[in-house]
Amino acid sequence: MALVIKYAKYICNWFKGIFSSYKTKYPNHILPSENKKLIVSDISDCLLIRHFSEKSNVPVLDGPKNYINQAYIIHPSSNISDLSTNLLGIFGYEEGKIKIVGNKLRYFNTYCQPDFKPEIPIHREDYQIEDERKFWHLMVKDVESLQVEYNSENKNSKSFLAECKVLHTPMRWNYWHFSIRWLITETNRTPFFLNDLPSNQQKRYFRKIASETRSIISMKARVVNNFTYRKIKESEYLKKVL
C-alpha cells in the first residue's frame, strides 16, 4: 500500500511539473518576429486592455454611475504622455499577467521594429506571472482623436490643442503593445507628440490634460468585457500570410 501511495505521489508531481512547465513557457506568439509588420490599418473597432492590481481600500467602481476608479486608470503621479496598453486578440489575459523583471528589464522594455528578433525571456530570470492582475478594456474608437483644448488667458502661456492617438509601438517582449499618446498643436509650431519632449518640458502640458484624460478613460473603459469588437486579421500584421 505504501508503495502504491508513493507511486501515486510520483505521478501527481510529474503531472504538476508538466503543467507548470507549460504554463510558464514564454508565449512566443506575442514576440516580434521576422514576418511581422507595423500595424497601420484602421483598428477603431478593436479593443485595448490594460492591467491593474486591486487594492483592498480602493473600490474598482466609483460614483453613482459605477465608472472605473481613476486610481486604476493611471496613478496621478505617473506620466500620462505615453500610456501602455495591449491589443486584445492574439494577446490575451494570460499574456497580460506577464511582468518583465530581472537584469534584462531595460532590454525587454525597449521599443523595437516589429520584425526584430529578440531573446526569448526566461521564466523567473526575465519574467514572472502575476495571477492577481485584473484588466480594464477600452475601444480604440472611444479614445482615438479625443481632443483637449486649453485656451490660456495668460500672455506668457500659449494656448494649445491636444489630440489623442493610438499607436502600435512593439516592444522586445511584446509585439502587441500599443501606446495612447497626445499630439500637441500650438500656434507657430509644428505639431509634436508630448512624449517626445524632455520630461521637464512636458509638465506644462501634463498638468492641463492629465485630469481630463483620466476622467475620459474612466467613463469609456469597462472592467467587464461586454464589448462588440473585431479581432485583427493576419494580413494586417503579417508581411506574408502563411
Tens of pLDDT, residue by residue over 163-176, are 999 999 999 999 99
* DSSP E strand boundaries for 43-97: 47-52, 61-62, 67-68, 82-87
- pLDDT at site 1: 55
Q: Which residue has the higher pLDDT, 53 or 18?
A: 53
* DSSP E strand boundaries for the chain: 47-52, 61-62, 67-68, 82-87, 98-100, 127-129, 134-139, 147-150, 160-168, 177-186, 189-193
pLDDT band per the 50, 70, 90 thresholds, residue 16: very low
Contact criterion met (CB below 8 Å) for 194 and 180: no
Contact criterion met (CB below 8 Å) for 171 and 109: yes
- pLDDT at site 117: 97
Sign of CA dihedral 82, 186, 141, 240: negative
- pLDDT at site 149: 85
pLDDT band per the 50, 70, 90 thresholds, residue 19: very low
- pLDDT at site 22: 44
pLDDT band per the 50, 70, 90 thresholds, residue 74: confident
Phi-psi region of 218 (alpha: psi -120 to 50; beta: other; left: phi over 0): alpha
pLDDT > 80? residue 15 = no
**Mean of all residue pLDDT scores within the chain:** 87
pLDDT > 70? residue 10 = no
pLDDT > 80? residue 125 = yes
Which cell numbers in the block locate residue 147? 481632443
pLDDT band per the 50, 70, 90 thresholds, residue 23: low
- pLDDT at site 102: 96
Q: What distance in Å separates the CA atoms of residue 18 and residue 15, rounded to the nearest whole number?
A: 5
- pLDDT at site 21: 44
- pLDDT at site 148: 85
Contact criterion met (CB below 8 Å) for 86 and 94: no
Percent of the chain with pLDDT over 90: 64
Place of cell 507595423: 38
pLDDT band per the 50, 70, 90 thresholds, residue 2: low
Q: What distance in Å separates the CA atoms of residue 51 and residue 60, rounded to the nearest whole number?
A: 12
Q: What distance in Å separates the CA atoms of residue 206 and residue 150, rounded to the nearest whole number?
A: 12
Least confident of 1-5, 27-31, 211-215: 1-5
Phi-psi region of 165 (alpha: psi -120 to 50; beta: other; left: phi over 0): beta
pLDDT > 80? residue 207 = no
Q: What distance in Å separates the CA atoms of residue 84 and residue 29, rounded to the nearest whole number?
A: 19
Least confident of 86-90, 190-194, 204-208, 233-237: 204-208
Residue 114, amino acid: P
Sign of CA dihedral 175, 40, 179, 194: positive
Q: What distance in Å separates the CA atoms of residue 96 and residue 218, rounded to the nearest whole number?
A: 20
Least confident of 32-36, 75-79, 131-135, 233-237: 75-79
